[in-house]
Amino acid sequence: METASQGRVQQHGIVGMSPGAYARVLIFFLAPAVLVYTLFSVYPLLDTIISSFYSKQNDGSYVYNGVANFVTLLTDPTWSAPFWNAFINNIKFFLIHMLVQNPIGLLLAALLSLPVLRFRTAYRTLIFMPTMLSVVIIGFTWQLILSPLWGIAKMFLQAFGLGFLFGPWLGEESTALITISLISVWQFVGIPMILIYTALLAIPDELIDAATVDGLNQFQAFFHVKLPLIWPTIGLVSVLTFVNNFNAFDLIYAMKGALAGPNFSADIMGTLFYRVFFGNQLQLGDVSMGATIATMMFLIILCGVMIYLFLIQRRLQRYAF
């Protein structure tokens, strides 16, 4: 609360500005963000959730039927089997990113921040490069690389006498999802790397000098001093990975089409939603069930982010240096 020189108590606004003018200033600065966000984010989300409570009748009209769509999705075997398949696959997809992409990103960031490293900028740019390429190009290129007929991967392994290791990884049910996940890891490993690298750069050199005087080697200083200070960034990277993975669609669609074959073994929430909502081959598009799946995706992501915000982030301490 600020006391104006005339003795009036002014609780809001800017000294010397009338309430009307202050309101206009507020609207001027807030309106663009509120409008754009409402139009392209809040409205589609609400409309999706509302659509999931209706079902299409034979005459083409939509009738409110409560949570019946959700019950169908989770209990009717024709719906629940693909749904749980996509859900489990999506979890695998996420776990591979968490266990491979983020640790490698951390390792690369740690290597990049080594004081003796030469060609630092070149490494950084090269590793980040795939992130900037189109997913379609990545998918197509890797399909060529991994092709059992003329793929360079096969010849490469054969050149080292390791040809027996090669398999049609994209074509087998047991390996398709893992292969696509690893391709996605390869493409996006630059993002955790850059985020963690930036966090590492913010740690003052004197802190590492102090640890050196305290008798820690570079390795110990990393684990006992640097790592605890970058947990908040690793937490952020994890939650970004989670949201991106559960919204993923493009790479699998680009490499395997909407059917995410073979036999739906690479099917994740995004591709399942696409087939149900827009229809695919003999399957007719179903707005209501599509919206139901989309709402489930929203709820899953919401749960994940809430767990992060309320259980994990509160225990992570941010540090200013």
Partner 1 sequence: MADVKIGNLHKSYGTVEVLKDINLQVEDGAFVVLVGPSGCGKSTLLRSIAGLEPITSGAISIGGRNVSDLAPAQREIAMVFQSYALYPHMNVENNMAFGLKFAGVPKAEIADRVNEAARILQLEPLLKRRPRELSGGQRQRVAIGRAIVRHPKVFLFDEPLSNLDAALRINTRVEIARLHKLLKATIVYVTHDQVEAMTLADKIVVMNKGRVEQVGKPLELYYRPANLFVARFIGSPAMNTLAATLDGKGKAAAVAGVSLPLPAAVSGTGEITIGFRPEHCSIGKTGIPARVELVERLGETGYVHARTADGAALLVEVKGDPGLAQGAEVRVAPAAGHLHLFDGEGVRLAGT
Where does this chain bind partner 1 (CB under 8 A)?
A: 204, 206-207, 209-216, 220, 224-225, 228-229, 317, 319-321
Residues 139, 253: Cα–Cα separation, whole Å: 9
Q: How far is the CB of 239 from partner 1 (least distance, A)?
A: 21
Q: Which is nearer to partner 1, 161 or 215 (CB)?
A: 215
Query: Which of 137, 139, 193 lies closest to 170 in space, CA to CA?
Result: 139
Residues 104, 101: Cα–Cα separation, whole Å: 5
Strand-pairing partners, residue 61, are none
Q: Which is nearer to partner 1, 104 or 208 (CB)?
A: 208
Residues 146, 138: Cα–Cα separation, whole Å: 12
Q: How far is the CB of 107 from partner 1 (least distance, A)?
A: 21
Q: Which is nearer to partner 1, 211 or 297 (CB)?
A: 211
Q: How far is the CB of 215 from partner 1 (least distance, A)?
A: 3
DSSP structure string for 275-318: HHHH-BTTBPP-HHHHHHHHHHHHHHHHHHHHHIIIIIGGGPPP
Q: How far is the CB of 277 from partner 1 (least distance, A)?
A: 47
Residues 67, 65: Cα–Cα separation, whole Å: 6
Q: How far is the CB of 201 from partner 1 (least distance, A)?
A: 16
Q: Which is nearer to partner 1, 80 or 212 (CB)?
A: 212
Q: How far is the CB of 271 from partner 1 (least distance, A)?
A: 42
State both tokens at 318. Answer: 């941010």
Q: Which is nearer to partner 1, 61 or 315 (CB)?
A: 315
Go through 45-69 and write b for each residue having 16 or more CB atoms within 10 A of its CB, e for each that does not: eeebeebbbbbeeeeeeeeeeeeeb
Vertex 185 angle, CA 181 and 187, to 5°: 115
Q: Which is nearer to partner 1, 229 or 259 (CB)?
A: 229
Q: Which is nearer to partner 1, 68 or 207 (CB)?
A: 207
Q: Which is nearer to partner 1, 211 or 239 (CB)?
A: 211
Q: How far is the CB of 210 from partner 1 (least distance, A)?
A: 4
Q: Which is nearer to partner 1, 149 or 314 (CB)?
A: 314
Query: Which of 265, 45, 255 lies closest to 147 in space, CA to CA?
Result: 255
Q: Are 107 and 226 in contact (CB under 8 A)?
A: no
Judge residue 277's burial from the number of C-beta atoms within 10 Å of its C-beta, 0-12 exposed, 13-18 middle, 19 or more buried: buried
Q: How far is the CB of 212 from partner 1 (least distance, A)?
A: 5
Residues 105, 230: Cα–Cα separation, whole Å: 13
Q: Are 106 and 187 in contact (CB under 8 A)?
A: no
**For 35, what's the count of Cα atoms within 13 Å in the CB-facing half-sphere?**
6
Q: How far is the CB of 320 from partner 1 (least distance, A)?
A: 7
